[in-house]
A and B are shown apart, each in its own frame.
Chain A
């Protein structure tokens, strides 16, 4: 790191806000304040996107993470009672072994796809401040494989959430 160059003031301010809010989110005694700090931290990350000439991503960051994810977290905090969260789940069967196997399989296949597609990815980043119509073209044209891997990860997370939330009757 070159210390002779004075740091960008926007970057310093954004980093401070984001990191402080992230620490607050973990340390807050009241869960609500934790959720609010998490929202502020997300807004800080959106600020990074805007300062990196990607305003569209920044706006989507606010809309999706602060507008939807934080709302979900708040909702959960307010509606679920504490003792239900803290309840210990110890139902050890063959499920955890199968889960580990499947997770390993997913990891190996993702790594395989990435290794196969890696050499074909463009080495130069796309130019900054792309128009939104070209953003889609770049994402689907030059980076289809990372897009598919992200989709796989998201669907795996969704399935995992389903398994965690399943209640045996």
Chain B
């Protein structure tokens, strides 16, 4: 705790004390705003470059830096100076407000994601439920935004997004349940701590598969991109967005991609654990980028699922596999083969 300055000469040490305090560093620099912004901008460039390589193209090149890595900055400047088109009879406050809320909701869960043993903003006891609660707000936001656009394409996309995300949330969080049983905690720091010896991708492999597939559906990534079907719905629920509104939505989507990748790293890939020649946050970010790559690659490889197949996969396959893995975990934990809740 820093004392408030009383004389003018105290102000500079006061500012230095604030800037070097742990709270300020974790909140603003790492893993807070600056780190998030840089990684999200990097991810937009990375996806374009990766997809281009898959399709034997070159991708962004001319914006400067090696491989055109400054492309996101050029994109941002371009989008900011574009006109914001608001559709006829659209609900203006919602149309402009919801994208900001989406970015806020995308950034909020990073408060509880541990990037290292001490690199966490809020060491919350119910961290996983917190992320669950915040993530459950996304579908309603998307539906409201789609409705506020006052256009048929966004509305169709919004409805698709809603039923897809609601359907895949269930197998997703049931598969997270076996991780919670293995770690005996909802605190993300303790969940990573429990993976010191063995990563949970081993004992909970089925859960990992289910969680990964459900994550793809939550992120509306191919092969689950029905809500933003590019050929038919033309980007789905955010068809009508343009200029800065589009940029903010784009940021929110990539922030969610980064969030879900880091959540998979926390739950299944041992979080910050790794050989000690690299610091913990570096291991965490490396693993997260590997997961993000695995989420991006199918976009260049697979075609889209039909609606009926999507629903069938979600309710009759993933849900059952997730429940089977919960059962396996109960057996593993209760027979004492793995440490856990001590049932």
Contact = CB atoms under 8 A, between A and B. Distances in A.
Contacts of B166: 68, 71
B126 interface: yes
Nearest to B125: A55
Contact of A60 (B133, B147, B159): B133
B126 A56 contact: yes
A13 to B, nearest CB: 19
B162 A59 contact: no
Nearest to A69: B140
B132 A63 contact: yes
A133 B341 contact: yes
B137 interface: yes
Given A60-B129, A62-B137, A63-B136, A71 B143 contact: yes
Nearest to A60: B129
Contacts of B136: 62-63, 66-68
A55 B126 contact: yes
Nearest to A67: B136
A132 interface: yes
B143 A55 contact: no
Contacts of A39: 140
B139 interface: yes
A71 B140 CA distance: 5
Contacts of A131: 125
Contacts of B147: 32, 74, 78
Contacts of A63: 129, 132-133, 136
**Listed residue (A46, A60, A71) with the most chain B CB atoms within 10 angstroms of its CB:** A71
A63 B162 CA distance: 15
Nearest to A39: B140
A68 B132 CA distance: 12
Contact of A67 (B124, B137, B155): B137
A62 B134 CA distance: 8
B144 interface: yes
Given A36-B144, A71-B140, A74-B140, A62 B133 contact: yes
Contacts of B133: 46, 59-60, 62-63, 66-67
B144 A32 contact: yes
22 contacts: A32-B91, A32-B147, A36-B144, A55-B130, A56-B186, A59-B129, A59-B133, A60-B133, A62-B133, A62-B137, A63-B129, A63-B136, A67-B139, A70-B140, A71-B140, A71-B162, A74-B140, A75-B143, A75-B162, A78-B155, A132-B125, A132-B126
Interface of B: 91, 94, 124-126, 129-130, 132-134, 136-137, 139-140, 143-144, 147, 155, 159, 162, 166, 184, 186, 341
Interface of A: 32, 36, 39, 46, 55-56, 59-60, 62-63, 66-68, 70-71, 74-75, 78, 131-133
Given A32-B94, A74-B143, A133-B341, 11 more contacts: A36-B144, A56-B186, A59-B132, A60-B129, A60-B133, A63-B129, A63-B136, A66-B136, A68-B136, A71-B162, A133-B184
